[in-house]
Amino acid sequence: MSLSPQSPVQPTRDQKATLGALVDVLLDKGVYLNLDLIITVADVPLIGVNLRATIAGMETMLRYGLMTEWDDRVRAEARRDGSPAAEPFAGELWLLEPRASAPVWREGAAAYDGTNGFAWKAAQDSRPAVRLRPDEITGVRTEEGHGPAGGAELLVIESPDATVRLAGDRVREWAAVLHGTSREVRDGAERR
């Protein structure tokens, strides 16, 4: 359907849309407003408004390079206060997702920092499929196994509610990063 000057665009109402869905989109994708408004009376401009605003979740803002100075300042203050603020670590990892018929490997991106903890999200997911705060990680270890990306080791992260198995190129690096957060860390067959 093509729009012509004679057929104005009409709003539609989606009965399934909810405020929660709107908030999810705002946090995950964000919105950028670029507004120039001039209020006139009798063709005399009285008030001008020039507004540029971005509304998004902090994760999204930082991913696009917005508010990085604020984030760096807050992390530096947390380090001075003695709070756990490990340097952020991110990369590609495959998640072994349990399913009723058989477990399935899913490709995605993982991120960790000492404040927010560990998160894993597939590209098509609107929210992370795995999110663990630093205090929820009870164990980290590597174990023998093969993922779809090759390698001979899997990263295993344990929490009171679940055991998460991941594969990737940098399993040992991930284990080292998560080492300081878990209450119990095991590396392969070696127990500490």
Question: Which residues lie closer than 8 Å to 71 by C-beta, 6 or more apart?
Answer: 58, 62
The CATH number of domain 84-185, selected from 2.40.30.10, 2.30.29.30, 3.20.20.150, 3.40.1160.10: 2.30.29.30
For 87, other C-beta atoms within 10 Å of its C-beta total 10
| pLDDT reading at 74 higher than 50 | yes
Q: Are 7 and 36 in contact (CB under 8 A)?
A: no
Q: What is the pLDDT of residue 17?
A: 72
Token pair for 189: 């067959």
Taking the model in full, what pTM does it have? Answer: 0.53
- For residue 125, pLDDT beyond 90: no
CA angle (70, 76, 155) in 5-degree steps: 100
Cβ-based neighbours of 36, under 8 Å, separated by 6 or more: 48, 49, 50, 51
The distance in angstroms from the start CA to the end CA of the chain is: 67
The two beta strands, 184-185 and 139-144, are parallel
**4-59 tens-digit pLDDT:** 455 555 666 777 777 777 787 777 888 888 889 999 999 999 999 999 888 888 88
* Strands 163-167 and 139-144, sheet pairing: unpaired
Residues 6+ apart with CB under 8 A from 113: 85, 86, 87, 88, 89
pLDDT above 60: residue 154: yes
**Domain ranges within the chain, ordered by starting residue:** 17-66, 84-185
Q: Report in angstroms the alpha-carbon separations of 118 from 54, 59, 69, 169, 182.
A: 26, 13, 22, 17, 11
Least confident span in 72-86, 90-104, 131-145: 72-86
Residues 6+ apart with CB under 8 A from 142: 153, 154, 155, 156, 171, 172, 175, 187, 188
pLDDT of residue 72: 75
